[in-house]
Amino acid sequence: MAITGRAVALVALGIVVVVLSPAPGATFVLVNLLVVALICVDVWLAGQVRACTFARSGPTAARLGQPVPLVLTVANDGTRTVRARIRDGWPPSAGARPRVHRVTVPTGERRFLETTLNPTRRGDRMPVRITVRSLGPLGLAGRQGRHHCPWRVRVLPPFSSRRHLPAALARLREVEGEVAIRGGGAGSEFDSLREYVVGDDVRTIDWRATARHHGSVVVRTFRPERDRRVICVLDTGRTSAGRVGDVPRLDHALDAALLLTAVALRAGDRVGLVAHDSTSRISLPTSRDNGLLARMSDAMATLEPALVEADHAGMASAVLRNASRRALVVIFTELVPAVIEDGLLPALPTLTSRHTVLVAALRDPRLDELTAGHGDVHQVYAAAAAEQTLLRRRELTEALRRRGVEVVDVAPAHYAALVTDTYLMLKARGRL
């Protein structure tokens, strides 16, 4: 049973009547009996909570930042009209609005309640319970109960770097055009034969094909290498939990990996995904079908940093299991001595002997801001500490490059775009 504010107001009115009455004792008893009787009648006339049935409909997945409209259907299978306040309980990170619905459902009918989710975090969001408070016709009291209507909304990574996709695809077309003009060479493969036109490089003439085509000269045409392999490796160890611009490093890496995947698929290459810390979290084999980007987003949605040291030897083993042929291995990690010197460098030889390796690190723009501060003693010390950190990052970058590793170390604003540009540069040079 549930009591409303009207019942409390009625009791307050009864107290006033008792105080003003010439016979307070008798009036007190009568007022109490009247209030109790009205509440009991109201509860008895209230619709049955257990007779209500619920069903949900709406999207089951959406990207972070997009509203998710859901519909909750309420059906009354009881014998009395249900005048209810329905609270559809979701976790706070789901951002459900409105939180409470007021609805009247006559017997044998149903109503549709709209709830909009505005999630603040990626991952799975599921409702907790539905609380129904069915009030009587007087609005003094009613019945209350709980229902469960399961549903799941998977909040995918936002893919905010999608805005760089047109520029990256334009750069890809430039690479393809450069290969077509240059002809055969690094980063290209045979495409087809065609007749010679004035201006073609004579070195592209196919003399055997020319001999078979009497009276016409045939040249070979080339295109950028396709069916190359790209493996995105996400370091989900403790350093990925650090925040840059109020966003975890791991989320920046997910965004960059999605952009790289979209461009590589358009270029005709195969893309795989490995997420690893002390153990393997995700392992998607290389593929180039149209549904790969959606599968990657779905797998990334529930990925969270683990507060453990990353096992880079196990990470290298996972990559070798995923890629039997030569591939570009893009490792999204952090440039700190504990990660690079103690973990990644000892594991690099097993990767660089078979693959091209790119380390993609995210630099906190706050470091550059601190180096410019010299106003007082505190700013000078902060600037010195920031310079020391940047110097250490440059030393680690050089150590990686001496071992044949490409390195990207840039602020979040250019992170995803520069990783993709580096992939296109390596593709143009035939290093995939």
Residue 313 Rama label (left phi>0; alpha psi -120 to 50; beta): alpha
Contacts of residue 272, Cβ cutoff 8 Å, sequence gap at least 6: 229, 230, 231, 232, 284, 285, 286, 287, 322, 323, 327
Q: Is the peptide bond before 98 cis (omega within 30 degrees of 0)?
A: yes
Please report where in the chains the tokens 């859901």 appear, as a residue. 70
Low-confidence ranges of the chain (pLDDT < 70): 177-210, 214-215, 219-226
Contacts of residue 53, Cβ cutoff 8 Å, sequence gap at least 6: 74, 75, 77
Secondary structure string (H, E, C) spanning 319-334:
HHHHCCCCCEEEEEEC
Q: Which uninterrupted H or E stretch holds 256?
A: helix 249-266
**What DSSP designation does 162 have?**
G
Specify the pairing of strand 328-333 against strand 356-362: parallel
The CA distance from 42 to 143, in Å, is 9
The tens digit of pLDDT for each residue in 198-217 reads 656 656 666 666 677 766 77
Q: 284 phi and psi, to 5 degrees?
A: -105, 125
End-to-end CA distance of the chain: 69
SS3 110: strand
The tens digit of pLDDT for each residue in 335-357 reads 999 899 989 999 999 999 999 99
Q: Which uninterrupted H or E stretch holds 85?
A: strand 82-89
The CA distance from 173 to 177, in Å, is 6
The CA distance from 46 to 39, in Å, is 11
Give ∠ CA 404-340-301 in degrees, rounded to 5.
100
Q: 349 phi and psi, to 5 degrees?
A: -55, -35
Are 334 and 234 spatial neighbours (Cβ–Cβ below 8 Å)? Answer: no
pLDDT at site 20: 80
Are 209 and 193 spatial neighbours (Cβ–Cβ below 8 Å)? Answer: yes
The CA distance from 32 to 9, in Å, is 13
Q: Give the relative orientation of helices 345-352 and 377-402 as an angle to the nearest 10 degrees.
A: 30
Are 382 and 429 spatial neighbours (Cβ–Cβ below 8 Å)? Answer: no
The neighbour count for residue 401, using CB atoms within 10 Å, is 12
The CA distance from 81 to 105, in Å, is 6
Are 390 and 335 spatial neighbours (Cβ–Cβ below 8 Å)? Answer: no
Specify the pairing of strand 141-147 against strand 96-97: unpaired
DSSP codes of every residue in 17-45: HHHH-SSHHHHHHHHHHHHHHHHHHHHHH
pLDDT at site 71: 96
The tens digit of pLDDT for each residue in 237-273 reads 999 999 998 899 999 999 999 999 999 999 889 999 9
Average pLDDT over all residues of the chain: 87
Tokens in use for 133? 């408070």
pLDDT at site 419: 96
The CA distance from 180 to 169, in Å, is 16
SS3 86: strand
The CA distance from 267 to 286, in Å, is 14
pLDDT at site 48: 87
pTM: 0.82
Are 293 and 258 spatial neighbours (Cβ–Cβ below 8 Å)? Answer: yes
Specify the pairing of strand 100-105 against strand 82-89: antiparallel
pLDDT at site 432: 75
